[in-house]
A = this chain, B = another copy of it.
Amino acid sequence: MKHIGIAIILFASFCCAQEAGGFQPSSTNVWGAEYPRVDSAGRVQIRVKAPDATKVRLNFWSGPKVDMEKQQDGYWTVTTPPLVPGFHYYTLIIDGMEVSDLNTHAFFGGTKEASGVEVPEPGSTYYSIQDVPHGQVREVWYNSKVTGSWRHALVYLPPNYDTQTKDRYPVLYLQHGAGEDETGWIRQGNANFILDNLIAAKSCKPMIVVMAYGYAKRAGQNLSDLTGKPFGSPEMLKAMQEMAAAFEDDVTQALIPYVDSTFRTLSDRDHRAMAGLSMGGMQTFQTTLNHLDLFSYIGGFSGAGGMLVLGDRKLDPKTDYNGVFADPAAFAKKVHLLWLGVGTAEPERMRAGLQRLHNSLLEANIQHVFYESPGTDHEWQTWRRDLKDFAPRLF
């Protein structure tokens, strides 16, 4: 029977994947897939079968974009230069069509189910599964009156949440970037293992982490047609601001009440944090600084002030964000942590934006942490490191 045939194929592959010449299958691969594979220098080999294709191009999003070479057996292959450790998204362009490599699991980014490869970081154990107590990741659905829809979120509960039934926990709201979704921090970021390991080492407090879907449109809202409107046009900026405001309302009016009524949280502002990467960092700034009655810890990972508020100009502490930065002493009393991070290999404009915000905050005497991840780009290794530095400072 057909399903038996599949069973045998997968069994044969399941048992036979192995290293070859120092290259090991990526931990992101589906069972038994020998490619992509990675060597100790961080070089990645990709191999796909496309016997009738005329051109296949490898497209690492933060890395090499190179043509693959056709072999006589119908396979296309390539070996990249060394990549920095961490998770890397990629797709393939085959005769003009962007596709994923079906040898790996799918990781939602760039508004698609992309492929990914994991380049191990020598000596790093903080973001992989270890023999320590593990929290659980829960899928929840909440009905949002703001968006008029069921919304899906992932919630990390720390180890012993089920057994320590008298304990209540602080909550970190942790947001993905543009093009990603609520699954990113678990699937790509390994946030659950990062928290498990930090908690086991007593480096951070046990906490609940809520990862929400970062796009929102108000119930019944008809957003204007943006067809033909150029990037940065007033119509587009207005529509983006409307989406950002709808997300802010969803978090503060639907998600937080749902979480506080569903889980054993500490529900005061002193026990609520928010952080996000890239677009999620911008959302974090907007949501928290408009609601300092709800939040007291703030993290912007490779994204913070953001073009929606600041564009390319300096922060004006007196007027921006409703003037919350006008009085440094009052701000320090109110906000227990303001944290900014950026990778040193991120695109110049991104680094400059974060650096400019950092400098503005220094000039305004606003206490904050500025963390730079050495050698990493606008990518998950930066954000894993961010979380590792950020979480121990909370609560």
Contact = CB atoms under 8 A, between A and B. Distances in A.
Interface of A: 1-16, 30-32, 48-55, 74, 91, 94-100, 102, 104-106, 108, 110-113, 129, 131, 134, 136-141, 143, 150, 162, 165, 177-179, 186, 192, 215, 217, 223, 225-227, 231, 236, 239-240, 243, 262-263, 278-279, 303, 307, 347, 349-350, 353, 378
Given A9-B111, A307-B1, A14 B51 contact: no
Contacts of A2: 347, 378
A8 B236 contact: yes
B94 A350 contact: no
Given A51-B96, A137-B139, A129 B113 contact: no
Contact of A54 (B52, B162, B240, B349): B52
Contacts of A10: 111, 178-179, 215
Contacts of A8: 231, 236, 240
B50 A52 contact: no
Given A6-B179, A8-B231, A178-B6, A1 B225 contact: no
Contacts of A15: 217, 223, 226, 239
B54 A55 contact: no
Given A102-B99, A177-B3, A139 B141 contact: no
A97 B48 contact: yes
Given A4-B178, A9-B111, A54-B95, 5 more contacts: A2-B378, A14-B215, A15-B217, A32-B111, A104-B113
Number of copies: 2
Given A111-B6, A111-B10, A140-B136, A52 B225 contact: no
Given A129-B150, A225-B16, A102 B112 contact: yes
A192 B150 CA distance: 15
A217 B10 CA distance: 13
Contact of A11 (B11, B108, B129, B243): B243
A7 B236 CA distance: 11
Nearest to A137: B139
B279 A7 contact: yes
A305 to B, nearest CB: 12
Contact of A3 (B54, B143, B278): B278
Contacts of A139: 136-139, 186, 192
Given A16-B225, A51-B96, A96-B74, A7 B138 contact: no
A173 to B, nearest CB: 18
A113 B30 contact: yes
Nearest to A264: B162
A110 B104 CA distance: 13
A262 B160 CA distance: 10
A191 B239 CA distance: 37
A248 to B, nearest CB: 15
A336 to B, nearest CB: 28
A150 B231 CA distance: 47
A152 to B, nearest CB: 9
A187 to B, nearest CB: 11
A13 B111 contact: yes
Contacts of A226: 11-12, 15-16
